[in-house]
């Protein structure tokens, strides 16, 4: 492995999701802290794009600083900022906005030149008013009732994101999307969505990093990876957060990543090279790759079924890269059974990884 051939050495900016990539809950993921610091020491720009609208960029930056990272608020882009900006482009300056979210979302609305307002003012002139909805850990049901009434009356409705779950140190928990869906179900209206996978937040991150060859690291296929691909950014999907192999077997092809890694430490490795053979006549296809430890992994597909060989805990990520490569190549064979085999191996991989008490990056620092 060399710095120039590893993923990190091929890019001039490391852009990351936060929940499930850099931290889980309040706890930092050790690999992530090492990788970000290493990237900065090499002059590689870093930036963070989060769909969590519950905290301001300054609060997020302070959290990252407490974890040991040298960052400031300018490196953080939140979906709350994006939602407020989107509303400001739809409404006149100083228009009233019902904020269904945290204080951070309210601050973003003010910074965008709009005015947080109560339900009565919004209902007085709904066509000239807005509703901004984002994550709020202290949400009460009456706020959803207010949002429902405002949206039903015709107010412009922008949601910071529609993530159904959010990764935490206690496992997956309900995300903003659950609350957005409640309002949508009650009104029959779908919101405009400002955060990932929509392109503006990615464009902002690239612009702030002054990057020409960025890589984006995320744990969700439907937001992080889909958004990076739609924005023309190389993507690394990591398994330290929300999604697993079973998701990769069923999501639309445009949500599949360029690269797969157990954690963000994969940027310090050479990318996994997958060879694919396909037959137009029979519809058969195969993908094979050699894991870093030397194991050969192969997935064989007929028109109706698929099988995988060589999957062990040490080669599970390589097998998942093969699955992703087949689906990106247009293979339509049902890969659910293969994904289940990979997920079982990955669960062992994750347990071993956690029990070691050290990371790939720790070894890189000691021996590199």
Positions annotated as catalytic residues are 17, 19
- Gap between the Cα atoms of 244 and 123, Å rounded: 43
Residues in Cβ contact with 207 at an 8 Å cutoff, skipping those fewer than 6 apart: none
User: Quick one: which of 256, 243, 272 has its CA closest to 20?
Assistant: 243
- Gap between the Cα atoms of 212 and 139, Å rounded: 40
Half-sphere exposure of 5 (CA within 13 A, CB side): 7
- Gap between the Cα atoms of 244 and 235, Å rounded: 16
Chain centroid to CA 41? 25
DSSP string covering 284-300: -EEEEEE-TTS-EEEEE
- Gap between the Cα atoms of 216 and 8, Å rounded: 11
Cβ–Cβ under 8 Å, residues 322 and 288: yes
């Amino acid at each position: 492995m060399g710095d120039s051939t590893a993923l990190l050495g091929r890019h001039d900016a490391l852009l990351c999701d936060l929940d499930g990539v850099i931290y889980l809950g309040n706890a930092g993921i050790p690999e992530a802290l090492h990788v970000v610091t290493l990237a900065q020491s090499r002059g590689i720009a870093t930036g963070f794009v989060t769909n969590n609208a519950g905290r301001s960029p300054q609060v997020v930056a302070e959290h990252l600083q407490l974890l040991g990272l040298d960052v400031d608020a300018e490196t953080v882009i939140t979906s709350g900022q994006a939602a407020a900006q989107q509303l400001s482009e739809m409404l006149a300056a100083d228009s009233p906005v019902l904020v269904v979210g945290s204080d951070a979302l309210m601050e973003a609305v003010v910074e965008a030149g709009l005015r947080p307002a109560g339900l009565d003012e919004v209902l007085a002139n709904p066509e000239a008013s807005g509703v901004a909805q984002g994550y709020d850990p202290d949400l009460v049901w009456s706020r959803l009732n207010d949002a429902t009434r405002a949206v039903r009356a015709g107010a412009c409705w922008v949601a910071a994101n529609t993530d159904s779950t959010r990764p935490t140190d206690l496992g997956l928990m309900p995300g903003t999307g659950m609350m957005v869906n409640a309002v949508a179900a009650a009104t029959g209206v779908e919101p405009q969505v400002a955060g990932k996978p929509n392109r503006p937040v990615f464009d902002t991150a690239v612009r702030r990093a002054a990057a020409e060859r960025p890589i984006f690291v995320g744990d969700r296929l439907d937001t992080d990876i889909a958004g990076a691909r739609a924005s023309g950014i190389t993507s690394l999907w990591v398994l330290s957060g929300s999604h697993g192999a079973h998701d990769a077997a069923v999501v639309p092809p445009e949500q599949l990543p360029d690269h797969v890694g157990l954690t963000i430490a994969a940027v310090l490795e050479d990318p996994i090279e997958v060879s694919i053979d396909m037959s137009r006549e029979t519809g058969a296809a195969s993908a094979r790759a050699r894991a870093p430890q030397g194991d050969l992994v192969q997935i064989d597909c007929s028109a109706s079924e698929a099988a995988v060989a060589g999957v062990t805990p040490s080669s599970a990520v390589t097998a998942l890269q093969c699955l992703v490569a087949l689906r990106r190549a247009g293979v339509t064979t049902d890969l659910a059974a293969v994904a289940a085999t990979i997920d079982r191996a990955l669960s062992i991989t994750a347990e071993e990884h956690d029990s070691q008490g050290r990371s790939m990056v720790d070894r890189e620092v000691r021996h590199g």
